[in-house]
Amino acid sequence: MSPGWPADGSFFVSIAAYRDPDLFPTIADGLAKARHPERLRFGICWQYGSELTGSEHLSGSQFAVHYVDARLSRGVCWARAEIMKLYDGEDWYLQLDSHHRFTQDWDEKLVEQAELTGSPRPVLSTYAAGFTPDREAEAAEHVTTMEFDCFTEHGVLLPKSAIVPEPRVTPIRARFLSAHFLLRGDLVRSGLVSLA
């Protein structure tokens, strides 16, 4: 049973970008393919170098940008923490890397998948499908999940992408999450449901 997310829910899209020329195409693709682009707000930690060109595209109420000279960056986890400070209570928090392409109506499809979990605090995550820069991304051929690959010599667990062998309509419970594609919603925080 669906927990009943608001039909007009807003998205905060968190993007940590370190001198990535694909930041602007990623944002443009996300806006172009969203069913409701007006409900999107981007929180960006733009760790720029001499190539700051293009930052004029990050102006307006849809963009909250933390500009940092790349030489002063303290890493991706620090950048993502800085972006969290820009969050303003949107219904959905989507964390991405700065090089992604989207499927048509991605915002609506993510909400539908989150509702299918039946959880008031859903989390969706996986390794997103790859694409070739400067080419329109093709629809992913397979649904993927994350599974154990190996431990490094330092004992760090490495997951890998795996193809789901049978067609699925609902999300799969997972043991891992990927920080480069992570969606979270919280009906409890928003006051739409109570756990009491």
Residue pLDDT, tens place only, 21-65: 899 999 999 999 999 999 999 999 999 988 765 677 788 899 999
Q: Any idea what DSSP says for residue 19?
A: S
Residue 60 domain flag: yes
Residue 152 domain flag: no
What's the pLDDT tens digit per position in 112-135? Answer: 999 999 888 899 998 877 777 766
Query: Residue 126 sits in which domain range?
Result: 11-130+170-189
Residue 164 domain flag: no
Report how far residue 143's alpha carbon sits from residue 125's, in angstroms, rounded to the nearest whole number.
12
Average pLDDT over the chain, rounded to an integer = 85
Residue 35 domain flag: yes
CATH code for the domain in which residue 53 is found: 3.90.550.10
Q: Domain count for the chain, please give it.
A: 1
Residue 71 domain flag: yes
Q: How confident is the model at residue 196, as a pLDDT?
A: 45
pTM: 0.86
Residue 47 domain flag: yes
Report how far residue 136's alpha carbon sits from residue 114's, in angstroms, rounded to the nearest whole number.
26
Q: Which two tokens stand for residue 142?
A: 């397979």
Is 15 in contact with 97 (CB distance < 8 Å)?
A: yes
Q: Which two tokens stand for residue 71?
A: 């030489």
Q: Which residues contact 138 (CB under 8 A, 6 or more apart)?
A: 131
Confidence label for 168 from pLDDT (cuts 50, 70 and 90): confident
- Please state, for a pLDDT cut of 90, what percent of the chain lies above it: 52
Residue 140 domain flag: no
Is 34 in contact with 9 (CB distance < 8 Å)?
A: no
Q: Any idea what DSSP says for residue 129?
A: P
Report how far residue 94's alpha carbon sits from residue 81's, in angstroms, rounded to the nearest whole number.
14
